[in-house]
């Protein structure tokens, strides 16, 4: 199996020349694009979402997209706009962030609808890192019935460093109620300084471990997590917590947050196994 996956990954990159770039206007003046790789119609389509502030060109996601496509799956890999018109580069932590989780979720919904409009009636959501969290947020809000399953790699909660989360939420809510528009700089994910609007920051901060776990347990579709036991970017005790609530999960020995090096083969292999065993979900 490992030799077969190696051949898939080596042969995948020339296929990039045959990719179609789909474009949509997400909000007035905010365009966004996605790479569309057409596979076999008998297989579900994969909507693949990148990590925090990254693009579809991020190595973990790009490699996975090519491997899935070479295994016969249609893959749609968008770059979330993050409220930047036609964004094609990763966004710096220190940039002014005027996007929200609600914006991200709305864009995911638009790409699901795009896949449906192109004849795909069975869609699997696959995310990496923060992309896994954004897809869970989408699933918590009446997802399209065409969405049949979810695979989350290196799933994280919205990490806020050493800040007291309830206190921070209270402060942000007070700013919103007082209609204070000044930016707030706060640790978020791997960013030590993340300047954002109170509304935008609050939309992410609310997704702590408890909310992520609730979304997993209440998911309207089947879930599968792929995690690395050498992932130093996870919150303390996160893997044990996931195991305790018995979320369907495979732990890749020695893999870090990005599943890079030899572990990119493990990520692809486990994703393919999950896709191959997905059964048609009952109509919702």
Which tokens is 206 given? 């609310």
Which tokens is 194 given? 């993340």
Which tokens is 104 given? 């991200």
- Give, for all 284 residues of the chain, the pLDDT tens digit: 443 343 444 344 344 446 899 999 999 999 999 999 999 999 999 999 999 999 999 999 999 999 999 999 999 999 999 999 999 999 999 999 999 999 999 999 999 999 999 999 999 999 999 999 999 999 999 999 999 999 999 999 999 999 999 999 999 999 999 999 899 999 999 999 999 999 999 999 999 999 999 999 999 999 999 999 999 999 889 999 999 988 999 999 999 999 999 999 999 999 999 999 874 444 44
Q: What is the CA radius of gyration of the chain?
A: 18
Q: Which helix (H) or strand (E) holds 115?
A: helix 101-117
pLDDT digits (tens, 9 = 90+) for 214-228: 999 999 999 999 999
Q: What is the pTM of this model?
A: 0.91
pLDDT digits (tens, 9 = 90+) for 242-251: 999 889 999 9
Partners of residue 75 on adjacent β-strands: 37, 46
Residues whose CB is less than 8 angstroms from the CB of residue 78 and which lie 6 or more positions away in sequence, other chains included: 32, 33, 34, 35, 47, 49, 56, 107, 111
Q: Measuring CA to CA, which residue among 112, 102, 99 is closest to residue 34?
A: 112
pLDDT digits (tens, 9 = 90+) for 91-149: 999 999 999 999 999 999 999 999 999 999 999 999 999 999 999 999 999 999 999 99
- Assign 142 to helix, strand or coil: coil
Inter-residue contact 131 to 51 (CB < 8 Å)? yes
For residue 31, report the phi and psi dihedrals to the nearest 5 degrees: -90, 155
- Assign 239 to helix, strand or coil: helix
Number of other residues whose CB lies within 10 A of the CB of residue 46: 26
Query: Could you identify the residue written with the tokens 């303390």?
Result: 236
- Assign 97 to helix, strand or coil: strand
Partners of residue 78 on adjacent β-strands: 34
Residues whose CB is less than 8 angstroms from the CB of residue 236 and which lie 6 or more positions away in sequence, other chains included: none
Domains annotated for the chain, with CATH where assigned, are 2-157+208-276 (3.40.50.1820), 159-206 (no CATH)
Q: Measuring CA to CA, which residue among 50, 218, 228 is closest to residue 132?
A: 50
- Assign 132 to helix, strand or coil: helix
């Amino acid at each position: 199996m490992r030799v077969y996956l190696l051949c898939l990954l080596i042969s995948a990159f020339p296929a990039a020349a045959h990719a179609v770039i789909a474009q949509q206007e997400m909000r007035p003046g905010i365009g966004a694009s996605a790479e569309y790789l057409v596979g076999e119609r008998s297989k579900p389509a994969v909507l693949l979402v990148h990590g925090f502030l990254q693009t579809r060109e991020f190595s973990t996601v790009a490699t996975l997209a090519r491997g899935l496509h070479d295994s016969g799956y249609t893959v749609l890999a968008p770059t979330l706009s993050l409220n930047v018109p036609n964004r094609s580069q990763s966004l710096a932590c220190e940039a002014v962030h005027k996007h929200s989780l609600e914006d991200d979720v709305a864009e995911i919904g638009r790409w699901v609808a795009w896949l449906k409009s192109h004849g795909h009636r069975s869609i699997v959501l696959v995310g990496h890192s923060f992309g896994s969290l954004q897809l869970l947020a989408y699933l918590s809000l009446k997802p399209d019935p065409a969405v049949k399953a979810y695979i989350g790699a290196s799933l994280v909660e919205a990490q806020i460093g050493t800040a007291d989360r309830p206190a921070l939420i209270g402060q942000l809510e007070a700013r919103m109620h007082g209609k204070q528009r000044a930016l707030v700089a706060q640790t978020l994910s791997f960013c030590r300084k993340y300047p954002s609007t109170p509304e935008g920051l609050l939309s992410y901060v609310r997704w702590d471990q408890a909310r992520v776990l609730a979304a997993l347990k209440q998911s309207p579709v089947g879930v599968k997590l792929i995690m690395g036991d050498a992932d130093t970017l996870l919150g303390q005790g996160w893997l044990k917590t996931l195991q305790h609530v018995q979320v369907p999960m495979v732990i890749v020995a020695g893999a870090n947050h990005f599943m890079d090096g030899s572990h990119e083969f493990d990520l692809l292999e486990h994703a393919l196994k999950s896709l191959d065993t997905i059964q048609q979900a009952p109509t919702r």
